[in-house]
Amino acid sequence: MVLLWSTELFPSLEDWQDLEGSVYRLLVVLLRCLATRRLPHFLRPEENLFHGEPLDLTSLQQKVEAFAQDPPRFLRFHFGHPASTEGLQADPELRALLRLPAEDRAYWDTAYFDTLLSQVYRIQDDARRSAMSQLLAKVQREIPTRS
């Protein structure tokens, strides 16, 4: 399901041209689903595939976050201390974005996921950047900024 939703949310071929970018797109969609405890069925979005399942989603979310922070550590053998990480960092602001209400469709579209990915990738498309700005303005109105 995560792959289907990712291709729906990121329909541009440029989003899928490199493996790292493709993996990060899948990860942010998966992290969003885990944080909200909602994985919509692709053909019946009102159906939550996590509903009623006895899954430890918190533990799974922690493992996915660890992978997102340092994918190479999980994808090859290390015979010593792992290198420093520069991947998707799950800071408090990112965690807050991941936990925005799942019922609001604005938090399940390309602009939302572009915003999550913006700390790793620079979005070049002007229309997508404009949509991200509008979404951030909406988030700032709904969630007071901490100082």
Q: What digits encode the pLDDT tens for the residues 48-83?
A: 998 887 788 888 888 888 888 877 666 654 344 444
Q: pTM of the full predicted structure?
A: 0.66
Q: Of the candidates 89, 92, 101, 106, which has an alpha carbon nearest to the alpha carbon of residue 28? A: 89
Q: How far apart are CA 145 and CA 119, in angstroms?
A: 18
* Lowest-confidence pick of 39-48, 108-117, 119-128: 119-128
pLDDT at 84: 41
Residue 2 has pLDDT above 90, yes or no: yes
Q: How far apart are CA 89 and CA 67, in angstroms?
A: 10
Residue 116, token pair as written in the block? 């999550």
Rounded mean pLDDT of the chain?
79
What are the CA-CA distances from residue 134 to residues 107, 128, 138, 141 (Å)?
12, 10, 6, 11
